[in-house]
Amino acid sequence: MKTLENKVAIITGAASGIGKAAAFLFSKEGAKVVVSDIDEKLGEEVVEELIKQGGDSFFFKADTSKPEDNEALVAATVKKYGKLDIAVNNAGIGGPLAETEDYPLEGWQKVIGVNLSGVFYGMHYQLPAMEKNGGGVIVNIASILGMVGTRMAPAYVAAKHGVVGLTKTTALEYGTKNIRVNSVGPGYILTPLLTKNLDEESIKAVESLHPIGRLGKAEEVAELILWLSSPKSSFVTGSYYAIDGGYLAQ
């Protein structure tokens, strides 16, 4: 039997990067996957490929910074599949780079809106659906910057720290309701989010920050997300798991 046989999963930010890798792995392991993103074209392409490979999937366009989009996403999932077992709150943006005093206010609001409020809004609507189903699993994608700071990214760092704390609080609240909630802290992963914002020289510099000597792969992070979403991690909740090539060990 496959690890996620007959499970229904929502993955946000699933049109590319870590979310896309998780969608393919979840589908391979038997889950029905709801691919959600703001990029309709890329999201539909992911669904098309999943179905070609024998999966059961559909795309739902949603902006996680909008509460009503999160509500509609959960409602569409339950309408289509009758339940919600797993949610991977992965959607995120990098935002501007500037010191705190120069950081654009609209940039702050947007980064906090997607990266932190988006996770809260997601869980706000996912949790009742899981309760009706008798339980479930939520995996929130934080970052190594949910544990440490870095210059020029106050909004991103604040949001990711918030995700880690929010995850712990929710895990405490829902532990007796058979809902597990954990967060994942990727290091610098070779995804479009990174390659669109950094030139080749900057990427080399970032690589050197990882003791393992390279950037991570989206597929490697997806494997950790899969484990946290599966019965194999049945005694794990309220935890933060770094997957960072040794970055935080320094």
d(CA 123, CA 130): 10
On the question of pLDDT at 196 being above 90, the answer is: no
DSSP string, 93-111: -------GGG--HHHHHHH
Catalytic residue among 156, 174, 188, 247: 156
Give CATH for domain 8-241.
Answer: 3.40.50.720
Which of 1-5, 11-15, 85-89, 191-195 shows the lowest mean pLDDT across its residues? 191-195
Q: Distance between CA 47 and CA 34 in Å, rounded?
A: 8
Q: How far apart are CA 94 and CA 115, in angstroms?
A: 9
pLDDT of residue 194: 83
Q: Tens digits of per-residue pLDDT, 39-72?
A: 999 999 999 999 999 999 999 999 999 999 999 9
Cβ-contact 34, 58 below 8 angstroms? yes
Amino acid letter, residue 15: A
* Under 8 Å between Cβ of 147 and 185: yes
- pLDDT tops 90 at residue 193: no
Active site residue 156: yes
| Matching residue, tokens 């992965």 | 90
- pLDDT > 90? residue 198: no
Ranges of each domain in the chain: 8-241
d(CA 45, CA 194): 21
Mean pLDDT value of segment 184-195: 90
The stretch 142-166 carries a mean pLDDT of 98
Task: Tell me: pLDDT of 189 over 90.
Answer: yes
- pLDDT (tens digit, 9 = 90+) per residue, 214-232? 999 999 999 999 999 999 9
Q: Sheet holding 136-141: strands in order across? A: 56-61, 32-37, 8-12, 86-89, 136-141, 179-186, 240-243
